[in-house]
């Protein structure tokens, strides 16, 4: 393996000359029309996910899953992004990005697009997916189709399991409108009559029990074959009158409220992050309202009443033709016994060097090992920690934990190591959005085992994925590191595409050790030899690499870069890419989600192509490749090109110096660039179109090709 120092190769003089040569482009790159609004770009990504529900090459239950993922994405979009824009207006602190769109205008455009997308989502569900599932024996049995025997079973279930834990809330001066939990299922009920206390307000709220499943499978002996499910909302709706004895139920309509779910912690008011987070987690359930979903048959007077209660406008009302919380239909997919309607299973590959290895340290000591998940197994990463936990020669294990999961094999191994008396240092990022509670739990578990738990740096999330093991080998201390683009989560490693590097490179391991020292202790910035790290050197180094490629183009040399990331929003990075394009650099961007850069602008970005891949696996790996006049540079990273990653997080970018490994990754990037099955191309106006093979051309599906390459299960393309 080459031991070349990539960072030292970026000499200050050469970089300064390169930057000066492109410092004054012929156009004003701050022109707002050159940028796409990030939230509007996010909606475009959500739409690409929704489109997967219509792809007939995809198994039917997987198409349903994409529709439900769209719902989940939209929930988070409203909870975080829309809530953030509304907060800016509420506090009079409006932030206008490089696109020039103010929050009020953005909210208006978001409302228009989101209403259109959500209406389309329910149309796809009702007109395509449910009828097709019915044809394959998987059905949601609606109330009007219940047979007498099914009605009796459902009524018994309601009386035994549902009614005893329901709390109807009549609305009157002594029973004000209840405080409802974020995204909970509720019903507004119209009543007629006078109750035992003489009350006749005419309205009540029915919160659905959150402890009950939202989908129940009916017993096979009361159905005519297939898998038959009934929704909790239908059960409650059918029997609402039993909850109001002596009253007449004139109408019962489901609704759901989405609230601001972002956590706000003032570092100046905080002396214990864990304690502060525990308090904020409760408040997340009751943040400000941002969206109201109601059944589309709900009378206007009731929707107006609900909007008034929550302080929302009609633009924030979503009337839907079906369940108000579609994500709960995941229960059907998880319990289904129809494997032919789902993706075929596969066994992740084990690299040849590790297949029969009993001692992982011995293998990694001889060579770097690169893994591409999920095609290659995450097990070697877990096994490395397990081996370290049991090895008497291992002295310390240091690891970052961002999204790990409540039940984690990695954490199990760290606990075992700590109990065995090894020095275990875990940097647990408590503020990983929506994983805060899980991370608090695993932090407590590690502390109880004797590990040292650090919560990172205030105001700077620790998003880097790195592990360092120090082992006594003879008379010396040998270091081993794992660096990755994804999280230490075995489940996600089966669903997300990510790279892992296992290495014993002395300089790189020393850099990892220095970064851990910066996170756990205090002191001035330590100089790294190979590792790039945010918020200090990663952004500057990437800009320098782009500037160098630009200088090569200016000198008339061939110049190219390929960047594969999840999001591109940083304005400074976008301007640098525009300058590269103006100079003639061929720029290939593979950006799964948000992209605020506009490709194809004449004279500005005509040399930039942007594509997004949406398929079976969530594209999550980050790769930065630069041709560099024949002396190519390649970095894998935990960071996307976003302000938060580059300026406000601890991130890593690590070089791939082994020539064979670089060539391997480069060939895999070429597969993405040739894909015409899962790829979408971004156009100058911000829209995307799906790439299709031209007549007579072969279809290339990168994820199927990689499955076939590593696992041997890539099915023929229809």
Give tens-digit pLDDT for 276-313.
444 554 554 567 899 999 999 999 999 999 999 999 99
The residue ranking higher by pLDDT, 355 or 275, is: 355
Residues 15-36 have a mean pLDDT of: 69
pLDDT tens by residue, 560-570: 999 999 999 99
Give the per-residue pLDDT at 12. Answer: 46
- Asked if 202 contacts 195 with a C-beta cutoff of 8 angstroms, the reply is no
For the chain, percent of residues with pLDDT exceeding 90: 75
- Asked if 395 contacts 517 with a C-beta cutoff of 8 angstroms, the reply is no
| H or E stretch covering 9 | helix 6-9
In angstroms, rounded to a whole number, what is the distance separating the alpha carbons of residues 94 and 106?
11
| H or E stretch covering 484 | strand 476-484
In angstroms, rounded to a whole number, what is the distance separating the alpha carbons of residues 41 and 595?
6
The residue ranking higher by pLDDT, 483 or 335, is: 483
Could you confirm whether domain 533-711 is CATH 3.30.870.10? Answer: yes
Give the per-residue pLDDT at 269. Answer: 44
Q: How distant is the alpha carbon of residue 396 from its chain centre?
A: 31
Nearest CA among 163, 143, 149, 153 for reference residue 242: 163
Q: Give catalytic status of residue 463 as yes or no.
A: yes
Q: What is the token pair recorded at 329? A: 């239909």
Residues 601-605 have a mean pLDDT of: 96
Give the per-residue pLDDT at 402. Answer: 81
What are 253's strand-pairing partners? 188
Q: Looking at the predicted structure, is the pLDDT value of residue 272 above 70?
A: no
Selecting from 3.30.870.10, 3.40.50.300, 3.30.70.20, 1.10.150.20, what CATH number does the domain 352-527 have? 3.30.870.10
DSSP helix/strand/coil, 2: coil
pLDDT tens by residue, 156-208: 999 999 999 999 998 876 678 888 999 999 999 999 887 765 666 789 999 99
Concatenating the DSSP letter of every residue in 608-643 gives: EEEEEE-SSSEE---EEEE-GGGS-EEEEES--BSH
- Asked if 187 contacts 205 with a C-beta cutoff of 8 angstroms, the reply is yes
Q: What is the token pair recorded at 80? A: 């975080």
Give the per-residue pLDDT at 174. Answer: 64
Q: Do domains 352-527 and 533-711 have the same CATH topology?
A: yes
Please tell me which residue in 237, 463, 533, 700 is annotated as part of the active site.
463
- Does 496 belong to an annotated binding site? yes
Where is average pLDDT lowest: 21-30, 210-219, 342-351?
21-30
Long-range CB contact pairs, 471-478, < 8 A, 24+: 471/361, 471/388, 471/391, 471/393, 471/394, 471/395, 472/393, 472/394, 472/395, 473/393, 477/395, 478/361, 478/365, 478/504
Concatenating the DSSP letter of every residue in 488-541 gives: S-TTGGGTEEEEEEEE--HHHHHHHHHHHHHHHS--SPPPPSS-EEETTTHHHH
Q: How distant is the alpha carbon of residue 563 from its chain centre?
A: 19
Q: Looking at the predicted structure, is the pLDDT value of residue 4 above 50?
A: no
At the top level of CATH, the class of 166-214+235-341 is alpha beta
Give the per-residue pLDDT at 564. Answer: 98
- The dihedral over CA atoms of 426, 430, 434, 437, expressed in degrees to the nearest 10, equals 90
Concatenating the DSSP letter of every residue in 112-141 gives: HHHHHHHHHHHHHIIIIIHHHHHHTTEEE-
Q: What is the mean pLDDT of the chain?
A: 90
Q: What is the token pair recorded at 66? A: 């994409």
In angstroms, rounded to a whole number, what is the distance separating the alpha carbons of residues 461 and 160?
47
Instruction: Count CB neighbours of 201 within 10 A.
Output: 12
In angstroms, rounded to a whole number, what is the distance separating the alpha carbons of residues 614 and 681?
11
Give the per-residue pLDDT at 444. Answer: 83
Q: Looking at the predicted structure, is the pLDDT value of residue 538 above 60?
A: yes
Distance set, CA 244 to CA 156, 179, 241, 344 (Å) = 18, 21, 5, 48
Query: Which residues touch 457 (CB under 8 Å, ≥6 apart)?
Result: 519, 650
DSSP helix/strand/coil, 473: strand
- Asked if 186 contacts 208 with a C-beta cutoff of 8 angstroms, the reply is yes
Q: Is the dihedral of CA 541, 545, 546, 547 positive or negative?
A: positive
Domain boundaries, the chain: 166-214+235-341, 352-527, 533-711
Size (the chain), residues: 718
- The dihedral over CA atoms of 332, 333, 338, 342, expressed in degrees to the nearest 10, equals 160
Peptide bond into 690 cis (omega under 30): no
- Does 237 belong to an annotated binding site? no
Q: What is the token pair recorded at 349? A: 């590959």
- Asked if 564 contacts 679 with a C-beta cutoff of 8 angstroms, the reply is no
Q: Is the dihedral of CA 528, 534, 537, 541 positive or negative?
A: positive
Helix %, strand %, coil % for the chain, to 5? 40, 20, 35
- Asked if 103 contacts 111 with a C-beta cutoff of 8 angstroms, the reply is no
Where is average pLDDT lowest: 3-7, 81-85, 264-268, 645-649?
3-7
Q: In 246-348, which ranges are continuous DSSP H helix?
A: 273-284, 300-310, 330-335
What are 139's strand-pairing partners? 228
What are 427's strand-pairing partners? 400, 454
- Does 620 belong to an annotated binding site? yes
Nearest CA among 452, 389, 448, 391 for reference residue 416: 389
Give the per-residue pLDDT at 431. Answer: 60
Give the per-residue pLDDT at 533. Answer: 96
Give the per-residue pLDDT at 668. Answer: 98
In angstroms, rounded to a whole number, what is the distance separating the alpha carbons of residues 144 and 473?
73
Q: How distant is the alpha carbon of residue 437 from its chain centre?
A: 17
- Does 73 belong to an annotated binding site? yes
Residues 1-19 have a mean pLDDT of: 44
pLDDT tens by residue, 674-684: 999 999 999 99
Q: Looking at the predicted structure, is the pLDDT value of residue 13 above 90?
A: no
| H or E stretch covering 194 | none
């Amino acid at each position: 393996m080459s031991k070349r120092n990539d960072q030292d190769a970026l000499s200050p003089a050469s970089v300064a000359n390169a930057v000066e040569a492109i410092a004054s482009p012929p156009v004003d790159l701050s022109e707002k029309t050159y940028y796409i609004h990030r939230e509007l770009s996010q909606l475009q990504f959500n739409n690409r996910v929704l489109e997967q529900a219509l792809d007939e090459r995809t198994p039917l239950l997987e198409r349903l899953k994409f529709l439900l993922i769209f719902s989940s994405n939209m929930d988070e979009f409203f909870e975080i992004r829309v809530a953030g824009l509304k907060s800016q207006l509420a506090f009079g602190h409006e932030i206008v990005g490089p696109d020039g769109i103010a929050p009020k205008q953005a909210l208006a455009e978001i409302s228009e697009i989101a209403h259109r997308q959500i209406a389309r989502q329910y149309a796809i569900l009702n007109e395509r997916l449910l009828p097709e599932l019915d044809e394959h024996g998987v059905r949601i049995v609606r109330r009007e189709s219940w047979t007498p025997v099914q009605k009796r079973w459902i009524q018994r279930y309601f009386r035994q399991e549902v009614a005893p834990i329901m709390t109807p809330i009549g609305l009157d001066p002594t029973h004000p409108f209840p405080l409802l939990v974020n995204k909970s299922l509720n019903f507004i009920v119209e009543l007629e009559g006078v109750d035992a206390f003489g009350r006749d307000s005419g309205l009540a709220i029915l919160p659905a029990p959150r402890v009950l499943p939202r989908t129940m499978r009916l017993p096979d002996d009361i159905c005519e074959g297939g898998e038959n499910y009934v929704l909790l909302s239908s059960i409650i709706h059918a029997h609402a009158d039993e909850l109001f004895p002596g009253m007449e139920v004139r109408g019962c309509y489901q609704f759901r409220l989405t609230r601001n779910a972002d956590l706000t912690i003032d570092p100046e008011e905080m002396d214990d992050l864990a304690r502060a987070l525990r308090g904020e987690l409760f408040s997340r359930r009751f943040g400000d309202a941002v969206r109201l979903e109601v059944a589309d048959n709900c009378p206007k007077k009731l929707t107006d009443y609900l909007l008034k209660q929550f302080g929302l406008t009609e633009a924030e009302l979503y009337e839907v033709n079906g369940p108000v919380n579609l994500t709960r239909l995941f229960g059907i997919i998880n319990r289904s016994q129809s494997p032919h309607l789902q993706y075929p299973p596969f066994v992740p590959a084990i690299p040849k060097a590790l297949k029969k290895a009993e001692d992982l340290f011995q293998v990694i000591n001889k060579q770097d090992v690169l893994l591409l998940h999920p095609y290659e197994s995450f097990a070697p990463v877990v096994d490395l920690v397990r081996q370290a936990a049991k090895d008497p020669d291992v002295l310390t294990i240091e690891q970052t934990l961002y999204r790990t999961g409540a039940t984690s094999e990695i954490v199990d191994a760290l606990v075992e190591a700590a109990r065995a008396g090894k020095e275990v240092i875990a940097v647990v990022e408590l503020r990983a959005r929506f994983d805060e509670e899980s991370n608090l739990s695993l932090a407590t578990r590690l502390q109880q085992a004797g590990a040292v738990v650090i919560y990172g740096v205030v105001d700077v999330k620790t998003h880097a994925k790195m592990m360092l093991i120090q082992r006594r080998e003879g008379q010396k201390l040998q270091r081993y590191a794992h660096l990755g683009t994804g999280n230490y989560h075995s489940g996600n490693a089966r669903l997300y595409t990510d790279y892992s590097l296992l290495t014993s490179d002395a300089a790189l391991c020393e850099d990892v050790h220095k970064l851990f020292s910066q996170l756990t202790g205090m002191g001035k910035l330590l100089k790294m030899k190979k590792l790039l790290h945010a918020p200090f050197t990663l952004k500057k180094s990437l800009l320098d690499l782009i500037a160098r490629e630009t200088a090569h183009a200016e000198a008339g040399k061939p110049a190219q870069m390929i960047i594969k990331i999840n999001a591109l929003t940083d304005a400074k990075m976008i301007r640098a890419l525009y300058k590269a394009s103006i100079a003639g650099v061929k720029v290939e961007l593979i950006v799964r989600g948000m992209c605020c850069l506009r490709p194809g602008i004449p004279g500005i970005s005509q040399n930039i192509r942007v594509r997004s891949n949406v398929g079976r696996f969530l594209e999550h790996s980050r790769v930065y490749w630069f041709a560099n006049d024949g002396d190519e540079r390649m970095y894998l990273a935990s960071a996307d090109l976003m302000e938060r990653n580059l300026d406000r997080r601890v991130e890593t970018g690590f070089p791939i110096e082994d020539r064979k490994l670089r060539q391997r990754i480069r060939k895999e990037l070429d597969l993405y660039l040739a894909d015409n099955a899962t790829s979408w191309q971004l156009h100058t106006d911000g829209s995307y179109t799906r790439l299709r093979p031209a007549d007579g051309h072969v279809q290339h599906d990168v994820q199927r090709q990689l499955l076939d390459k590593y696992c041997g299960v890539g099915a023929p393309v229809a």
